[in-house]
Amino acid sequence: MINIAVLGYGTIGSGVVEVIDRNNSSIDGKTGDNIRVKHVLDLRDFPGDRVESILVHDFDIILNDPEVKIVVEVMGGVEPAYTFVKKCLLAGKSVCTSNKELVAAHGPELIKIAKDKSINFLFEASVGGAIPIIRPLCSSLTADRILEIKGILNGTTNYILTQMDVEGWDFDRALSKAQELGYAERNPEADIEGYDACRKIAILSSLAFGKSVNYEDIYTEGISKITATDIKYAGKMDCKIKLLASSENIDGKYYAMVAPFLVKSSHPLSGVSGVFNAIFVKGSEIDDVMFYGSGAGKLPTACAVVADVVDAARHLNENIQTIWSEEGLELTGSENATRRFFVRVFGKRSECENRIKEEFGAVDFIEIPEDTDGFGFVTPALAEKSFDAHLANIPNVSGRIRFE
Ligand code: HSE
């Protein structure tokens, strides 16, 4: 028997217990041993719940229990998760987590402790929910040099953008619905401002490139300024608006960014709807591989955590190598990245058209009946810094979105 403990009985924690209960014989068969949840830690009480008799409020009970070999951390946030996880690893207990804040902030240190102790720190569920992406980066794709990772890494914002597109809702209505369905937190900032996707691309980039990408160095823009009218313009241009997270290795220089992009409807990422996520990985030899699936949600995410538990149980005294050095990876700013931009302007086109052409040359003007106060235009491809300089000379700009 292999005893595990679960830190946090929220959405994912209760999902972990449910998956282990429901798929018990299959999980045990794949583990080659019997997985038992011995303790669940939470501040709250759950009278009448399945975990009532194994609930503890004191972390030290878990830390000091020599029978607990694997700890699942699904509390979220950096503290106290970091302190608890580090103590567990130092005590010789493997840890499986879905906590991207923790992994993005302290991943390499915790990986090193696990390696030194011949145990495991596993975090498949921290990126992409149910989608296997950490393990492929660490094992299946190790023969190739990764050149680019690009994808939709946040289910909540993808749900909001999908509803705005399909239902014609404004941002606030789509956000309220996402909160009602439990996708978005009551404080939705981490999702809608792109911070969640930023931490996820930092984790993937660190694994792909082998050194630590500091999430604070990644240019991050969310979707809170995207309007229903922007979505109408996107439709007119045969595009969807998607929050993309990306990182690239171009001739030994590294770039990363999170921002909303206009994605042509012929691009596979444009068809990724609702809470689904998709991730492209481009290698120098393999070209593109794409990963797709449920990016959020209780049971999909819990399954990724429990799969890590199975792996940790199969490798109880053996470290599964994860290459993520504590050495920092310097990111280059994206001011020289060249792309087209969609710009919206308040006012009459006839009054600004010449000025816009003087600044940007041959632009494509776009007008839609829903925008009674203004118009849009698409620039030729140009570097971000050049675009910004020219845009500063255009009066009454109300927004701009990059083209993928
Ligand atoms: N808030 C995250 C999302 C949860 O919406 O993608 C999964 O990491």
pLDDT in tens, 366-403: 999 999 999 999 999 999 999 999 999 999 999 999 99
In this structure, are 354 and 396 located in the same domain?
Answer: yes
- pLDDT, residue 336, reads 87
Q: Which long-range contacts (CB under 8 A, 24 or more apart) does 180-186 make?
A: 182/11, 183/155, 183/156, 183/159, 183/275, 183/296, 184/156, 184/160
Which of these three, 306, 328, 350, is where a domain ends? 328
SS3 content of the chain, % helix, strand, coil (to 5): 40, 25, 35
pLDDT in tens, the chain (404 residues): 999 999 999 999 999 999 999 999 999 999 999 999 999 999 999 999 999 999 999 999 999 999 999 999 999 999 999 999 999 999 999 999 999 999 999 999 999 999 999 999 999 999 999 999 999 999 999 999 999 999 999 999 999 999 999 999 999 999 999 999 888 777 899 999 999 999 999 999 999 999 999 999 999 999 999 999 999 999 999 999 999 999 999 999 999 999 999 999 999 999 999 999 999 999 999 999 999 999 888 999 999 999 999 999 999 999 999 999 999 999 999 898 999 999 999 999 999 999 999 999 999 999 999 999 999 999 999 999 999 999 999 999 999 999 99
Domain coverage including residue 369: 337-403
- pLDDT, residue 168, reads 96
- Tens digits of per-residue pLDDT, 229-285? 999 999 999 999 999 999 999 999 999 999 999 999 999 999 999 999 999 999 999
In this structure, are 169 and 104 located in the same domain?
Answer: no
Report how far ligand 1's centroid is from the alpha carbon of 153 (Å). Answer: 8
Is residue 57 a contact partner of residue 47, using CB atoms and an 8 Å limit? no
CATH code where residue 389 lies: 3.30.70.1150
In this structure, are 305 and 387 located in the same domain?
Answer: no
- pLDDT, residue 296, reads 86
Catalytic residue among 200, 240, 282, 298: 200
Mutate to test the pocket of ligand 1, among 102, 185, 191, 305 (most ligand atoms within 8 A of CB): 191
- In the annotation, is 232 catalytic? no
In this structure, are 98 and 157 located in the same domain?
Answer: no
- pLDDT, residue 187, reads 84
Peptide bond into 80 cis (omega under 30): yes
In this structure, are 26 and 118 located in the same domain?
Answer: yes
Counting from 1 in the atom list of ligand 1, the atom nearest the Cα of 197 is 6
In this structure, are 145 and 113 located in the same domain?
Answer: no
Helix (H, G, I), strand (E, B) or coil at 291: strand
Q: Considering just the CA atoms, what is the radius of gyration of the chain in Å? A: 23
- pLDDT, residue 297, reads 87
* Count of helices and strands (H, E) across the chain: 14, 20
Helix (H, G, I), strand (E, B) or coil at 51: coil
- pLDDT, residue 401, reads 98
Q: What angle do CA 119, 149, 144 make, to 5 degrees?
A: 70
In this structure, are 24 and 47 located in the same domain?
Answer: yes
In this structure, are 251 and 345 located in the same domain?
Answer: no
Ligand 1, atom 8: closest residue by C-alpha: 296
Task: Name the phi and psi angles at 398, rounded to 5.
Answer: -110, -5
In this structure, are 323 and 376 located in the same domain?
Answer: no
CATH code where residue 157 lies: 3.30.360.10
| Alpha-carbon torsion, ordered 349, 355, 356, 361, to 10 deg | 130
In this structure, are 201 and 109 located in the same domain?
Answer: no
Q: Nearest to residue 274, comparing CAs of 388, 351, 160? A: 160
Provide the number of structural domains found in the chain: 3
Report how far ligand 1's centroid is from the alpha carbon of 1 (Å). Answer: 33
CATH code where residue 91 lies: 3.40.50.720
User: How far is the C-alpha of 171 from the C-alpha of 236, rounded, in Å?
Assistant: 19
- pLDDT, residue 76, reads 94
In this structure, are 175 and 57 located in the same domain?
Answer: no
Which of these three, 270, 295, 320, is where a domain ends? 295
In this structure, are 10 and 35 located in the same domain?
Answer: yes
What letter would DSSP give residue 78? S
Write out residues with Cβ below 6 Å of ligand 1: 129, 154-156, 183, 191, 196, 295-296
